[in-house]
Amino acid sequence: MRKNILAGNWKMNCDLSQTQGLITDLKTGLVKDFNCELMIAPSHPFLYNAFNSTSDTLIEVVAQNVCEAQNGAYTGEISVDMLDSIGIKTVIIGHSERRDTYGETNELLAAKTKTALGKGMRVIFCCGEHLEQRKAGNYFETVTGQIEKGLFDLTAKQMEQVVVAYEPVWAIGTGETASPEQAQEMHAHLRSFLETKFGKETANNTSILYGGSVKPSNASEIFAKPDVDGGLVGGASLDAQSFLDIANAF
Ligand code: PGA
């Protein structure tokens, strides 16, 4: 059975005291059980602090990025061993901001994914098309191409540790959201694409999250779609109440 997941991607926002404040607000608002796993991805310097301050909750602290190499001369990078040593068990890989701003290629993302899975971590693997690709009508090929190059070297067993996040780039941080129908269309397409490689059971068990301007006002109708198993949320996750309101949408 696949799980509902709501992950807050805090990106490069919040210093130490803001990170602590947001976590405190989240904890105060956690007055009931939600029908989803809750994850937050603060910036790397605050992961350890965030991990410790959420250890008495069901919130999982996850990383926004990781290096493909194990260790050594990689100035500025963070390894899976480092993350693992502070309790981090899940990492986001392939966010469009990593692909577009930092030139991370499908090959690099495939290597990062293997390294993270090799350490026993879970991966939230992001994919999504740009506006031009959507307009040109080749968005299915774009996104399945990213999935094929990023994930198709994995075994079905490894794939069990992967969550897919579909994030159309034109909807990220723009206020423009894919319609529930557009999200469902892509998620269903991705699921059948995963089935061609990993089989029906694995495809059915893979959580596929939608990301791109998810907010309390649109979360319910997006999450109601049968192939949408949750969300990867940027802007709206920086406010505890709106993040929890989104969690309530399941
Ligand atoms: P957004 O970001 O919710 O601010 O659009 C989503 C993401 O980039 O993961």
DSSP output for 48-109: HHHHHHTTTSSEEE-BS---SSSSSS-TT---HHHHHHTT--EEEE--HHHHHHS---HHHH
Q: Ligand 1 centre and the CA of 72: distance in Å?
A: 32
CA proximity to 232, closest of 95, 97, 133: 95
Q: What is the pTM of this model?
A: 0.97
**Gap between the Cα atoms of 68 and 77, Å rounded:** 9
Q: Is 8 in the pocket of ligand 1 (CB under 6 A)?
A: no
Q: Average pLDDT, stretch 50-74?
A: 97
State how far the Cα of 203 lies from the Cα of 124, in Å rounded to an integer: 15
- 1 — pLDDT class (breaks 50, 70, 90): confident
Q: Tell me which residue of 126, 125, 129 sits closest to 142, measured CA to CA.
A: 129
Q: What is the mean pLDDT of residues 172-196?
A: 94
Residue type, 219: A
Whether residue 148 contacts residue 113, with contact meaning beta carbons closer than 8 Å, is answered with no
Cα–Cα distance measured from residue 173 to residue 178, given in angstroms and rounded to the nearest whole number: 12
What's the gap in Å between 73 CA and the centre of ligand 1?
A: 32
Alpha carbon distance 170, 18 (integer Å)? 28
Q: Is 126 in the pocket of ligand 1 (CB under 6 A)?
A: no
Q: Is 235 in the pocket of ligand 1 (CB under 6 A)?
A: yes
Q: Alpha-carbon distance 190 to 80, whole Å? A: 27
Pairwise CA distance, residues 117 & 154, whole Å:
10
Please name the residue that has the structure tokens 């250890």: 55
- The CA angle 223-229-233, to the nearest 5 degrees, is 70
Residue of 174, 177, 233 with the most ligand 1 atoms within 8 Å of its CB, for mutation: 233
pLDDT band at 190 (very low <50, low <70, confident <90, very high): very high
Torsion of CA 158, 167, 246, 17, to 10 degrees: 90
Predicted confidence band of residue 175 (pLDDT cuts 50, 70, 90)? confident
User: Is residue 95 among the annotated active site residues?
Assistant: yes
| pLDDT for the residue numbered 9 | 98
Q: Are 63 and 85 in contact (CB under 8 A)?
A: no
How many of the other CB atoms lie within 10 Å of CB of 195? 15
Strand partners, 244: none
Residue-wise pLDDT for 27-61, tens only, equals 999 988 899 999 999 999 999 999 999 999 999 99
- Active-site residue (options: 60, 95, 104, 129): 95
> What separation in Å is there between the alpha carbon of 211 and the centre of ligand 1?
6
> pLDDT tier at 176 (50, 70, 90 boundaries)?
confident
Residue pointed to by tokens 């301050």:
53
